Structure 1
Amino acid sequence: MTNSNRSNQTMTNQNKVNDGELYSRVMGFIAGMCSGVAKNTVGHPFDTIKVRLQTSQGTGRFKGPMDCVYKTMQQQGVRGFYLGFTPPLVGWIIMDSVLLGSLHNYRMFLSKYFYPTYEKLPLSGCVISGVMSGWTVSFVAAPVELAKAKLQVQYDATTTKYKGPIDVIRKVYATNGIKGLYKGLVSTLIFRTHFIYWWGSYELFTQWFKKNTKLSDPAINFWAGGLSASLGFWTTAYPSDVIKQVVLCNDKYDGSFKSWKQAAKDIYIQRGYKGFFKGFMPSFLRSFPTNAAALAAFEFVLRTSGAKKV
């Protein structure tokens, strides 16, 4: 083979590598979209109960999770559990595409440039890529979660201010502009910093199941996804989620870090430490099935598509 032929062969191989890497990067975002559909379908009723409990503190509206379920069903029927469903449906498709797509891409980046000698990305790389993906998706999540939260706390005709998610966006923008839509950004960034625990524990659970069980890959993804979300993430992140929801639903808070601290102080004054775990059980129960289904869907699409696994 001549030097010219060798050079052409090398370039061809390099192009194949680059094409394969690009394909894997794109598939991360597509797999994330599938995750978003699975997550919202399973989890929205739980989320509605959680938000209603979080934002009704001090009003005496609900005695607890089951009372909230009963009154919602009695007053609004099944539809009441799916109020505000559209923004998170569209939002989760977008957010999980950004979240898991960026997670996959950050993993590939770290594996290529910081851990090139490792056969598999180590725990430290999983944690770093998890936090980075959480901060990245926060810029998409902030306005979506604002619209969802405001719709979910509309209990009846007397509290109905918005007709739907677009109406929320339109009215908030008309009053406060872009700043109003991103009122929850600081709270969202703080909340998603706890992805350290989610993706760190996901990797640990995955390794444990592979070493100690004969479960299939989809089953491991399901169990590791559910356990890491419920035990690793929500048990540590829940207080910051309560603060975030209160900031989003109360006009007295401007969304700054100072107002975030004030919201935390107000919750403590009204309810003590228990206030930071108001509505925890619906959220905890929701986190396992929704994230188990979501991550199983994400990993399944990556695996069957032939995308690079790191």
Structure 2
Amino acid sequence: MAEDVREEPKPAFKNYKGFVAGVFSGIAKLTVGHPFDTVKVRLQTTDAARFAGPLQCVTQTVRNEGILALYKGASPPLVGWMFMDSVMLGSLNVYRRLLSEHVYHVRGFQPGAPVRADSLPWHGHGVAGILAGATVSFIAAPVEHVKARLQIQYAADKAQRLYQGPIDCVRKIFRAHGIRGVYHGLGSTLLFRSFFFCWWGSYDVLSRLLRERSDLGAPAVNFWAGGLSAQVFWLSSYPSDVVKQRIMTDPLGGSLGDGVRRFPRWRDAAVAVRRENGWRGYWRGFMPCFLRAFPANAMALVAFEGVMRALP
């Protein structure tokens, strides 16, 4: 009698899970993190004469513009982060599988499965993070560009703002500068997301340690590893984010009529940050970012990993 042999589903058929779970990650991240992000961007793009620190920034923003001002520019990332996290986390799982099969030659590894001793090494997760970061940058750059320009509009009266909303912002930039204007800051976005090596490498290391040395359940491991690894990422990448934000909020000039462009190159923006505020300028706005990193990314990873486990 012939033995009934059933083939295990190939990892390729599981790739969709990362893209679906990433949508829920994006929703969680925006809900928790956007007010922190607004404060961070405002501190990064102004000098100390306007805001002495994050608390004053929050106080003045709420007093002058209302509590909803903390969610200014939220529409692009609400859609964008759902899409971005879907692409980033989905492609991360694909790159993990490809690296395990073709570079590290790890047999039987399936992204999303419990970490085993013979799984992809931590630096393999880091390399997958770099590749996923580069992939999602082509979506993230225009979303973050529009978000940043909306976040630095300080007029309480909408009629006094250059951009009435995200669609109006894209339309005006495209009319004046074409697709290159919309993608202004792509190079700095690619550089910033290369630090995903630190994020996903440390996430794997922390996940292993928590599983091996604690009795925490899977959601708790995802929460703590997700929050702590996000803080590792921001500690390593924050200065590059400051420069990226300066580039993305730099006037584009021309028929847009928003001023004269100051930073034609990444180096020009980096030098300007140091010239204006010294070395501390590269860390201006870090505290709200650091405070945001843990809860926003911890909940995002709990949502992502939870959906990954729930999907067939």
2:154 equivalent to 1:155: yes
What are the within-5 Å matches in structure 2 for residues 46-195 of structure 1?
46-57=36-47, 60-118=49-107, 119-156=118-155, 157=157, 160-195=161-196
Q: CA deviation at 1:255?
A: 7.2
SS in structure 2 at match of 1:270: helix
* Contact persistence 1:131–1:194 (CA under 8 A): yes
Q: CA deviation at 1:124?
A: 2.2
Q: 1:31 aligns with which of 21, 29, 38?
A: 21
Whole-Å separation in 1 of the counterparts to 2:234 and 2:38 = 16
Aligned position for 1:278: 284
2:225 equivalent to 1:219: no
* Contact persistence 2:125–2:200 (CA under 8 A): yes
Give the structure with the larger helix fraction.
1
The percent of aligned pairs where both chains have the same amino acid is: 48
Structure 2 residues not aligned, in runs of 5+: 108-117, 252-259
Q: CA deviation at 1:263?
A: 0.3
- 1:174-215 deviations in whole A, cap 9, x for unaligned? 111111111110010110011111111111111111111110
Structure 1 residue runs of 4 or more that deviate by more than 6 Å after TM superposition: none
Q: Which moved more, 1:138-147 or 1:156-165?
A: 156-165
Q: CA deviation at 1:243?
A: 0.4
SS in structure 1 at match of 2:9: helix
Q: 2:294 aligns with which of 288, 292, 295?
A: 288
Whole-Å separation in 1 of the counterparts to 2:145 and 2:97 = 32
Whole-Å separation in 2 of the counterparts to 1:201 and 1:187 = 23
Whole-Å separation in 2 of the counterparts to 1:133 and 1:76 = 37
Aligned position for 2:35: 45
Return closer, same or farther for 1:255/1:145 CA change in 2, 3 Å cut-off. Answer: farther
Return closer, same or farther for 1:254/1:117 CA change in 2, 3 Å cut-off. Answer: same
Q: 1:267 aligns with which of 265, 273, 282?
A: 273
Whole-Å separation in 1 of the counterparts to 2:151 and 2:122 = 37
Letter in 1 for 2:195: H
Whole-Å separation in 2 of the counterparts to 1:183 and 1:93 = 21
Whole-Å separation in 1 of the counterparts to 2:167 and 2:180 = 17
SS in structure 1 at match of 2:239: helix
* Contact persistence 1:184–1:255 (CA under 8 A): no
TM-score, normalised via structure 2 length: 0.89
Letter in 2 for 1:198: W
Whole-Å separation in 1 of the counterparts to 2:94 and 2:263 = 30
CA RMSD of aligned residues (A): 1.9
* Contact persistence 1:183–1:255 (CA under 8 A): no
